[in-house]
Amino acid sequence: MIVELLIGLCLLGSVVLFVAPSRYAGRLAAGWSLLPLALSLFMYAGFSGQGNAFLGGQLAYETTVQWVSLGPYTLNWHVGLDGISMPLIALSTVLTTAAILSAWTPIEDRENQFYGLVLFLEASLVGVFAALDFFVWFVFWEAVLVPMYFLIAIWGGPRRKYAAIKFFVYTNVASLVMFIGFFALIFGLGDSIGSLDMPAIAQALRAGELGSLAGVGPATLKTLAFAAMFAGFAVKVPVVPVHTWLPDAHVEAPTPVSVLLAGVLLKMGTYALLRFNFTMLADVAQRYAAIIALFAVVSVIYGALLALAQQDLKRIVAYSSVSSMGYVILGLVAYTVYGVGGATFQMLSHGLISGLLFACVGVIYNTTHTRMVDDMSGMAARMPVTTSMFVAGAFAYMGLPLTSGFLGEYFVFLGTFHADFPGAAWFTAIAMFGIVIVAGYLLYAMQRTLFGPFGVATDHGDGGAVRTDGGEDADSGAEHDIKRAAAHDVVPLAMLLALVIVLGVAPEISFGMIRDAVAPLLTGGAG
């Protein structure tokens, strides 16, 4: 019942925060978030699962309780963890604590409600990665939308309502498309299944028990269902061309929400693709591997080029996520240990690095009140700790050795280069070129914002900004506006950077359990 305890702690914390006085909410939320964080790390340390959750593996922390019957199907409370879901749950709890700490400075209104929604979001994320019954999983999947919508719409920027509605509409329509595709498979399986248990469904599909539906043969039905589910999950990832909601949501969302959005919510899409499309319908994925790889490579290159063209520091990091998720898709379609395992490791790595970069951008914005690259420079001299961590995170994004960013990309490239689908080596080579573009836009952004002569735009209240350039003879008033970050702003940066380095130096901490969970997917058995 430890998974239930983890979810319950998050939900109870959400209720407590909603009724707590706002002036105590930040510290109470930070303290409470340490409880699920400590519990998830305890679970991680004691993890004993083997194999893949969907393919008959031995699960850790599994619970199955019959819930209710709906017609011919039984709904069960079924949760359990394998080597894919365990690291993602730990990532969710780590980033929640980091986001709460980074919210102390910028969030000054209705704080109890803000932190209550964040903890509710954490409970939903844990449920998404732990649930093994489709109905339970879908409840958590949709529950994520509610707090995220309000977090953007209430505490976001000037165009927050537009961004929140766009996010909600895109992802809700995508969920409907995915739902239709999945239930086409359920109805096609007929009497061969009696529940919505996802491991049972996956094993029935892989055993060839799918029949015809409404005159559509099994092969065509699987292809159509695969396309519907891929389209639905691709929006959440996001994959080009259904990525346009992401930069708007990131730019308008408060920085702590961007940390969770990039760090964990995008992983919901890639996690679902791995579980549904690439596990349940592996034969279809392999048949159309080249087309899927094309989507992945386009996302890598196009996302990087879009980031290169941006002037808003936050928008640069947002578009970089589109590029990074392209690497995950490319690794998944490789169907090699290092491809699929590397893609899962890249999910974990990107969550930490993107969370670090967004948190750094937030700390800089809290002080300068601008995110425009052309409106600031010389920040390294005024905020040395924050800028040092930003530089470290940027180099990890570029794939600097001894960081998790290097290993995530290396595993993906190694696995995809040896993949058995047409053009695999060429797709890998093109995707590798994306690293050059990544280095280009990150180095450009750092050179303009962190180094050079001191200068920052000061807001005069009318929406305009006047650049103040510092130097030996310049007015020191602007310099005095730039203060070093508070300790509670720096702590989450240091925490995330430490994890990026630890995973880069000792990847087996997570890659060992990941490799064990993806191996059965490649061999077709429980392993």
pLDDT of 459 over the 80 cut: no
- Peptide bond before residue 422 is cis, with ω within 30 degrees of 0: no
Average pLDDT, the chain: 89
Residue 159, helix vs strand vs coil? coil
Alpha-carbon torsion, ordered 106, 111, 113, 117, to 10 deg? 40
pLDDT of 524 over the 70 cut: no
Lowest pLDDT segment from 220-229, 238-247, 492-501: 238-247
User: Band of the pLDDT at 464, cuts 50, 70, 90?
Assistant: very low
Quick one: pLDDT at residue 477? 38
Q: How many CB atoms lie within 10 A of CB 505?
A: 13
What are the structural domain ranges in the chain? 1-283, 288-458+482-527
Q: Which residues contact 186 (CB under 8 A, 6 or more apart)?
A: 73, 193, 196, 201
Q: What are phi and psi of 47, to 5 degrees?
A: -65, 130
pLDDT of 201 over the 70 cut: yes
pLDDT tens digits for 47-102? 999 999 999 889 999 999 988 887 788 899 999 999 999 999 999 999 999 999 99
Quick one: pLDDT at residue 499? 96
pLDDT of 395 over the 80 cut: yes
Quick one: pLDDT at residue 250? 87
The residues that bridge with 372 in the sheet, in sequence order, are 312
Quick one: pLDDT at residue 377? 74
pLDDT tens digits for 413-449? 999 998 989 999 999 999 999 888 988 888 888 888 8
- Helices and strands (H and E) in the chain: how many: 23, 5
* Mean pLDDT value across residues 294-320: 90
Q: What are phi and psi of 6, to 5 degrees?
A: -65, -50
User: Band of the pLDDT at 454, cuts 50, 70, 90?
Assistant: low
* Mean pLDDT value across residues 358-364: 90
The tokens describing 500, both together, are 């990026």
- In sequence order, what DSSP letters do the residues of 68-86 get, joined into one string? EEETTEEEEEEEEE-TTHH
Quick one: pLDDT at residue 113? 96
* Mean pLDDT value across residues 176-197: 93
Quick one: pLDDT at residue 471? 37
Task: Name the strands in the sheet holding 465-469, side by side, starting at the edge strand that comes first in the sequence.
Answer: 376-377, 455-459, 465-469
As a whole number of angstroms, the distance between CA 157 and CA 315 comes to 13
* Mean pLDDT value across residues 493-513: 95
As a whole number of angstroms, the distance between CA 103 and CA 459 comes to 22
User: Band of the pLDDT at 453, cuts 50, 70, 90?
Assistant: low
Residue 74, helix vs strand vs coil? strand
Lowest pLDDT segment from 72-76, 191-195, 455-459, 502-506: 455-459
Overall size of the chain counted in residues: 527
Q: What are phi and psi of 103, to 5 degrees?
A: -90, -10
**Contact between 507 and 407 (Cβ < 8 Å):** yes
pLDDT of 273 over the 80 cut: yes
pLDDT tens digits for 107-117? 888 999 999 99
- Peptide bond before residue 384 is cis, with ω within 30 degrees of 0: no
User: Band of the pLDDT at 472, cuts 50, 70, 90?
Assistant: very low
- Work out the percent of the chain whose per-residue pLDDT is above 90: 68
pLDDT of 480 over the 60 cut: no
pLDDT of 512 over the 50 cut: yes
As a whole number of angstroms, the distance between CA 203 and CA 51 comes to 14
As a whole number of angstroms, the distance between CA 160 and CA 324 comes to 25
- In sequence order, what DSSP letters do the residues of 426-495 get, joined into one string? HHHHHHHHHHHHHHHHHHHHHHHHTSSS-EEEEE-SSS-EEEEE-SSSS-THHHHH--PPPHHHHHHHHH
- The radius of gyration of the chain from alpha carbons, rounded to an integer in Å, stands at 23
The residues that bridge with 79 in the sheet, in sequence order, are 63, 131
Q: What are phi and psi of 79, to 5 degrees?
A: -130, 155
State whether the Cα torsion 429-430-431-435 is positive or negative. Answer: positive
pLDDT of 455 over the 60 cut: no
